[in-house]
Structure 1
Amino acid sequence: MSGPAIEASAAPEAASAPQNAPERPRLAHLDVGRGIAILLVVIFHAYRGFLNAGTAGAGSTWPLLDYSVYIFHMAFFFIAAGYWVPRALQKGRGAYLKDKLATTWWPAVLWSLIYILINNVMASYVNKAVPMDDLWRILFFPALHFWFLGVLFLFFLCMAISRNLSFWLLVAVVACGLVDVFPMRETFARYCHFGIFFVAGAILSTNRSQMTGKGWPIALVVLGATIWLGFDRGIGLYSGWLVPGGFAGIILLLALAQAIAGYRVGQVLGWIGQRSMPIYVLHILPMSAARIILHRVAPDLNLDLRILIVSTSGLVFSLIGYALAARLNLLTLTGLGKDKSRIAAAN
């Protein structure tokens, strides 16, 4: 892999650790990293909402920031997901697949359907109506921002079929290069682009990496160069040329997460990171509502303030929705998590 490597030093006892070793403790700074990444998702979805509505204006730094963040923030979620796969597979292929169906495939399908129905009911208020034709496609290609869960589920399936990481790394590298060789739809470009990050996460886990973000000064240079060249030349976000920058951005995010993990802000971000899944699923609906209201009551408001208001609405109402679902023991049914009763039964 080109670009600086994420620190993968093994724990002293790793060499003698048995295959069925107890599950390693949760890494607090990974939750902090998820918190940072999901905030970036919410903020830049807010920006893109105004951009797609034609109300973002011109002459701001937001396009450059948007390009920069999209190089690495979704890649971080893939590498974090891949990191826990080897341990999850130790519970058995059946239990692993059942868990991924419930926590990845089901929310992607359920919420794709809900969003599409709401989108069509409110068609006159949204930026772009999603057609109801071929609704069955969401079973395989979830709609809207749920593409992430669809891609992730396919990667989970691949790991259930074969645990040969060397093979999957080769496949991921080849697929990554195909994006720049053959013209393809964005749907398939995502599969090709993000696979290498997912496999990298699994490899780091196998080597018992603590994912500390060591080497961040070099990563800063690599990410800066990638942004400068990519944005200036209009390189697509799923191009293989941006992969080094993606890994560099992940290293920087991990370094920042580890640096602040022991502080109050880190604890808050870690708490948010543990709820990144429901935030990702739910945030678009309240943000769309907030954007519509702002357009009616304050159409001339500064773009920065509009993004702040809309993204805050998305975050707050997502957390409220998650809390209500948890209180009513509906997390499993709604695909937003696991109910306490089911967790207790599993243990």
Structure 2
Amino acid sequence: MSDSSMRLSAIDSAKGIGILLVVFGHAWRGAWGANLLPNEGLFKLVDYAIYAFHMPLFFFLSGLLFLETLQKYNAEKLLKGRLTRLLWPMMLWSWIFFALKLSAGQAANTPVVLSDFPVIPLPPYEHLWFLWALFLCQTILILLYAVVGARLPATTWRWIAAIAAVIWAALNPLIPVPSDIWGPMFEHFPYFLAGIAVGSLSRIRVPPLLGGLCAIGFVVLLWLVQGEKAAVLHSLAIVLLAWGAWLCVDRRTGSQPVGILLRSLRSLRALGQASMVIYLMHTVFSASLRILMVKFGFDDITLILVATLVVGVVGPVIVGWGAAKLRLSKILGF
């Protein structure tokens, strides 16, 4: 396998882990909202640990190959792609989610009425903020690259991205952006820039010793979150260490004969490739199942979490497969 394809497979498998955390994180918050988690301290401990890592990871992964994308396509084509791949899914699924929540009535954690309908879904509706924030991050870079373009070599772009990521992350707490439209982008831009900065380094083979040190650093920094919202610089360090450790794991596992580790890695890669449909639809399945389980008297929180996690992954994957067969993927934003 070439270095380029290995890098792509590592991105896919990392997305697989990330999307599992997204589904679990929303299942965890959904259970809290439904008053199924009596221990507030435990809720915060798990919640802040997940949110210190999983969404920053997706912005980081989105940046890894973005400089190559900028070099390959013109600005007009790229901007059209952002409209169809990010804005259309955000709009469509905002309307779908609202309709489903309206039909759920008082069974929903946050009931809505028809007058709340998001005709123009800005600020972004619920978890779809990620698509809007990523759209802004990418659009800013597309326009900037169109102005400066090839005047700067790729290495210079990566160094600029690295310096900007660190400075932006460090200054982020000092520059609050309360707007729901601009705030999420402003907070998560450093991770996207960091992905651009280290994109070329993702081709290297991380030795086991360095991978192990990265893994230890990742665990320590994640443990230090301790039920508090992590600073952007803290989360940035967590993501970079996680990526270093995962490059080592993915490549060493991927070179082994067929076994349980390789099958697990292939499953993660498949989930990563299906991450968009899972991201868009997982709350439909997991929230619906949670509501039904509570209605029929299930109160075992472990059973509810496991069931909502499984259905939140499997349900969208099945829908995505069906949409592909019917050639509806683009229409549905997948």
Common fold: TM-score over 0.5: yes
Identify the structure with the greater helix proportion: 2
- 1:98-113 to 2 correspondences below 5 Å: 98-113=80-95
SS at match of 1:335: coil
Deviations 1:77-117 (A, max 9, x none): 11211122222221221211112211111101111121122
What is the aligned partner in structure 1 of residue 243 from structure 2? 250
**Residue in structure 1 matching 2:118, options 125, 135, 147:** 135
Distance in 2 (CA, whole Å) between partners of 1:213 and 1:52 is: 41
SS at match of 2:39: coil
CA contact (8 A) 1:72 1:247 kept: no
Match of 1:319 in 2: 317
CA shift in 2, pair 1:169/1:107, >3 Å: same
TM-score using structure 2 length: 0.82
Residues 157-180 of structure 1: CA distance to partner in whole angstroms, max 9, x if unpaired? 011111355555555444433442
Q: Percent identity?
A: 25
* Count of residues paired in the alignment: 309
Change (3 A) 1:67 1:332: same
In the alignment, does 2:320 pair up with 1:333? no
**1:289 alignment partner in structure 2:** 288
The 5 A counterparts of 1:50-199 are 50-58=31-39, 63-89=44-70, 90-129=72-111, 132-133=115-116, 135-138=118-121, 140-163=122-145, 164=157, 169=162, 171-185=164-178, 187=180, 188-199=182-193
Distance 2:175 2:245 in 1: 31
Give the TM-score of the pair, scaled to structure 1. 0.79
AA in 2 matched with 1:99: G
Q: 1:54 to 1:259 in 2, by over 3 A?
A: farther
CA spacing shift, 1:265–1:242, aligned 2, 3 Å: closer
Q: Is the 8 A contact 1:193 1:240 kept in 2?
A: no
The one-letter amino acid of 1:36's match is I
Greater mean alpha carbon deviation, residues 257-266 or residues 163-172: 163-172
Residue deviations 1:7-48 (CA, integer Å, cap 9, x gap): xxxx7xxxxxxxxxxxx5462222111111111111221111
Deviation at 1:69, TM superposition (A): 2.6
The alpha-carbon distance between structure 1 residues 65 and 212, as it changes in their structure 2 partners (threshold 3 A), is farther
1:21 maps to which residue?
Answer: none
1:43 counterpart residue number: 24
How far apart are the structure 2 equivalents of 1:272 and 1:227? Answer: 24
- With over 3 angstroms needed to count, the CA separation of the structure-2 counterparts of 1:67 and 1:249, relative to structure 1, is farther
Ranges in structure 2 where 5+ consecutive residues have no aligned partner? 146-156, 257-261
Asked if 1:265 corresponds to 2:264, the answer is yes
CA RMSD, Structure 1 to Structure 2 (Å): 2.7
The 2-side partners of 1:153 and 1:129 are apart by 28
Is contact 2:27-2:309 (8 Å) kept? yes
Q: Distance in 2 between matches of 1:66 and 1:212?
A: 33
Q: 1:327 to 1:243 in 2, by over 3 A?
A: same
Preserved CA contact (<8 Å) 1:287 1:311: yes
Distance change >3 Å, CA 217–CA 61, structure 1 → 2: farther
Q: After superposition, give the CA deviation of every residue in 1:207-241 in whole Å (9 maximum; x if it has no partner).
A: 36327566333333433343343316x3x245434
Q: Any gaps of 5 or more consecutive residues in structure 1? A: 1-10, 12-23, 337-347
**1:59 positional shift:** 7.7
Return closer, same or farther for 1:249/1:311 CA change in 2, 3 Å cut-off: same
Q: CA separation of 1:204/1:171 partners in 2, compared to 1, >3 Å: closer, same or farther?
A: closer
